Structure 1
Amino acid sequence: MKRLVVLGGGESGVGTAILGKKKGYTVFVSDFGKIKDNYKEVLIQNDIPWEEEQHTESLILNADVVMKSPGIPDKAPIVKKLIAKEIPVISEIEFTAPFTNAMTIGITGSNGKTTTTMLVYHLLQSAGLNVGLGGNIGKSFAWQVAENDFDIYVLELSSFQLDGIINYKPHIAILTNISPDHLDRYEYKYENYIASKFRITRNQTESDYLIYDSDDEATTEWLTTNKTKATLIPFSLTQDFEQGAFIKNNNMEVRINHEEFIMETEYIALEGKHNMKNAMAATSVAKIMQIRNATIRESLSNFQGVEHRLEKVLKIQNVQYINDSKATNVNATFFALDSMNVPTVWIVGGVDKGNDYNELMSLVREKVKAIICLGVDNKKIIDVFGNVVDIMIEVTNMNDAVKMAQRLTEKGDAVLLSPACASFDLFENYEDRGQQFKQAVHNL
């Protein structure tokens, strides 16, 4: 029997362990941190041996294959030892793909991937297709392949998941955009991060599709100097195409395989320029899949959006509170500030991933009346914007941030939580940060 070792006992790790056992591997799960109780129970029920708060080398370095959870960096000592022994270290996606005949649609990008993934899933589900949702979102891909029988999987793929790919290819790939993010995992080299995103298309053939933002500099530059065999489907706010998606005269037009879809942008539920791009990307998938225009139109007009992504929480005394906790990088916050059309109190800060805040300068000058820094170390934010806004305040918890924001607003203003940073200094994750924001707003 082949030995599968799973590093990381979270959603992707436990899912992979279940699939591995079902397919006849001997399985061992090892987590350097603590494993959550609900995952422990699943491992115990399935008779899968596990350890936590350690990596026992004698039980790991004898593996035939290792599935590494996306959160574990390549420079972790145990990973270096595995690579030195030439034991394959792959991602959950790579491990799982050979065990299913389902078509997969893979979606990656620095921003917009969750919204686009959810919208693609919504479009396909509304069309009555037998479709699963996985990857970086919801139930792990491996777990679903072990327990369900979907014809299609819509997968949100992070660069970390793509790093562990050898043979996997999606039939349809979407690359929403590329902006500097997670550079701490890529030796602070932007080109390494860009290359990582493009792994999504490395194994694609002529019968596959790559949908991409042709307004995005890093993307178009890569495509001029590198080759993919996939059929290219561009989308843009400024250009139009024989084959692709674009905005013209307040209409979204999508032309694919000699078929056309047109819809007035005002009837699309998602708001903001970046969401028009997400809608174009998702509609391109629907057209490739030959979904009826009427179904696409209805799905685009009733889509609810994603929690923690420009989510309108409440209006109190005519001040709109907006939760954009999912904005963990500068580019995401750029979109958020760009979509604000009233004076805004901006709550920002957290764990900086090598951010360049200067990109936000013109938007902050134009739209932001006060900044509330919510982080352990706010020096960089204060240095950049200290002379740009009149009011800058530092707080260390969400309740103080929201109460302070309320004091600084007048009727007609907005309060925007869009941190541009990771959340791990004060919160468990961006969801926890967003939930605390919503709770604090409801407590006002």
Structure 2
Amino acid sequence: MKHKLIILGSGESGVGAAILGKKQGYDVFVSDGGTIKQAYKQELTDSGIEFEEGQHSKERILAANEVMKSPGIPEKNELVKMIRAKNIPVISEIELAYRFKGNSKIVAITGSNGKSTTTALTYQICKTAGLDCAMVGNIGISFAKQVAQDPKEVYVVEVSSFQLDDIKDFRADIAVLLNITEDHLDRYDYRFENYINSKFRVIENQTKEDYFIYCLDDEVITKKLPLLTIHTNPLPFSMKQEVKKGGYIKGDQMMLRIQEERVSMSIYDFALKGKHNNYNTMAAGIAAATLGIRKEKIREAVKNFHSLEHRMEFVAMVRGVEFINDSKATNVNSTWFALESMNKPTVLILGGTDKGNDYGLIADLVKEKVKAIVCMGVDNKKIIEAFKDIVPVIVETDSAKKAVNASFKMSQKGDVVLLSPACASFDLFKNYEDRGTQFKDAVKEL
């Protein structure tokens, strides 16, 4: 009897898992309650994989040996409850990819903020050093699809808490935990502790051969660590104290100390600017040094790195007004980092699907730097309530085009218009990329 693998959800991770499962000889069936994108349908058809959309064949699903649940599907989903009640094992896509990755190494990067930037920078260093590597996970191609179609010696994986929720044996050779701030609480019964536990699962299967790179300046991480039994090699990084092993910044110098390798570099040479990016750069540098990459290659990559689309991305200067696309800021903390690096009067575009946001976290920065707020969402009450006594002008809009036009009207030469929504995008857009792209298109039309 073939192993029956049911895939719930047909996004990038679902389709990638289906392709890998099929390649490994599983009996694979993909079920999506919504519609499946044409490109993904084509991939499934080309691979000879059965699928359904707009419905779930419950009987067939509940006869599975194993279910791979897409990260977007919450536990409170009725079908997931039925699967759990029947004790059918539920795994995530990274678990399936891990099962078949062979002797390849995994660098798994997680945290509430800075994951994508750190993943991209780590990958850039690996590529610069000539490693046979791929960047996978939340940031692009599915990990499982990469394993199935083009296996590599090193996988740099951006990992979300949702993917970690359904691991069993997944083990990273190098685990990176950047920070933990309140995010996605709607998926964790509004209990911060549940979310913290989820993030720490990145090290639960690690052994004394592995490495754990983490931020020593993050109180949530340092409070949790003493409560855990850790079997891995800790490599902390800090901007507040020197560490014997790991990385730190003292004055304007970054120092990395891993085994025999010592790397020092001026932070003024970092391609990525801002305090939060100093942390991201240290984490990526330590991960690279742990892989045995020479310091010259680390320096070269860190100097020449280009930031990601939708993450503090310069769009254009229109009549002296600068437009920045930070659509990837889907939580309040990300917006805090964006505002922290602003040094011009700012018109801030906020709003979208609220995830239990506490806007008090950015109140001081808003007071100091923001001259006007443009809301871009279906329901903006919470934002208006939070800032009505701090910001003189708050305007409501319901599209990227209207938000850009309103922002431009309120700006003058020397100002910056910052799209850093602090919310998910699903009320008006397909995803944060779609939101960022519509923002950029509207700016180009000014």
Q: Normalised by the shorter chain, which TM-score bucket?
A: over 0.9
The percentage of aligned residue pairs carrying the same residue is: 54
Contact 2:261 2:295 in 1 (8 A): no
Within the candidate set 310, 326, 329, 1:327 is matched to 329
Aligned-residue offset at 1:434: 0.4
CA distance in 2, matches of 1:182, 1:375: 18
CA distance in 1, matches of 2:372, 2:11: 39
Aligned-residue offset at 1:256: 1.1
CA distance in 2, matches of 1:386, 1:79: 41
Corresponding residue of 1:116: 118
Matched, 1:171 2:173: yes
Corresponding residue of 1:90: 91
CA distance in 1, matches of 2:228, 2:53: 42
Amino acid at match of 1:84: A
Corresponding residue of 1:397: 399
SS at structure 2 position matched to 1:16:
helix
Matched, 1:286 2:288: yes
CA distance in 2, matches of 1:23, 1:145: 11
Amino acid at match of 2:388: G
Corresponding residue of 1:433: 435
Corresponding residue of 2:379: 377
Aligned-residue offset at 1:286: 1.1
TM-score normalised per structure 1: 0.99
SS at structure 2 position matched to 1:336:
helix
SS at structure 2 position matched to 1:28:
strand
Corresponding residue of 1:67: 68
CA distance in 1, matches of 2:445, 2:366: 28
Contact 2:107 2:173 in 1 (8 A): yes
Aligned-residue offset at 1:47: 1.6
SS at structure 2 position matched to 1:279:
helix
Corresponding residue of 2:25: 24
Within the candidate set 244, 264, 267, 2:266 is matched to 264
CA distance in 2, matches of 1:231, 1:391: 51
SS at structure 2 position matched to 1:21:
helix
CA distance in 2, matches of 1:2, 1:366: 59
CA distance in 1, matches of 2:243, 2:10: 46
Unaligned runs of 5+ in 1: none
SS at structure 1 position matched to 2:368:
helix
CA distance in 2, matches of 1:100, 1:3: 20
Corresponding residue of 1:408: 410
Aligned-residue offset at 1:227: 2.0
Amino acid at match of 1:70: P
Aligned-residue offset at 1:441: 0.7
Aligned-residue offset at 1:149: 2.3
Unaligned runs of 5+ in 2: none
Aligned-residue offset at 1:74: 1.2
SS at structure 1 position matched to 2:171:
coil
Aligned-residue offset at 1:190: 0.2
Aligned-residue offset at 1:134: 0.8
Report the RMSD for the aligned CA atoms in angstroms.
Answer: 0.9
TM-score normalised per structure 2: 0.98
Aligned-residue offset at 1:259: 2.3
SS at structure 2 position matched to 1:393:
strand
SS at structure 1 position matched to 2:395:
strand
Matched, 1:156 2:158: yes
CA distance in 2, matches of 1:407, 1:98: 54
The structure 1 segments of at least 4 consecutive aligned residues displaced by more than 3 Å after TM superposition are: none
CA distance in 1, matches of 2:288, 2:49: 40
SS at structure 1 position matched to 2:378:
coil
Aligned-residue offset at 1:230: 1.1
Corresponding residue of 1:316: 318
Amino acid at match of 1:16: A
Aligned-residue offset at 1:322: 0.5
CA distance in 1, matches of 2:275, 2:170: 32
Amino acid at match of 1:211: I
Q: How does 1:163-312 map to 2 (within 5 A)?
A: 163-312=165-314
Corresponding residue of 1:5: 6
Amino acid at match of 1:315: M
CA distance in 2, matches of 1:9, 1:375: 27
Amino acid at match of 2:178: T
CA distance in 1, matches of 2:151, 2:409: 53
CA displacement 1:391-442 (0-9 Å, x = unmatched): 1111111111111111111111111000000111111111011001111111
Amino acid at match of 2:305: F
Matched, 1:338 2:372: no
CA distance in 2, matches of 1:64, 1:322: 48
Amino acid at match of 1:215: D
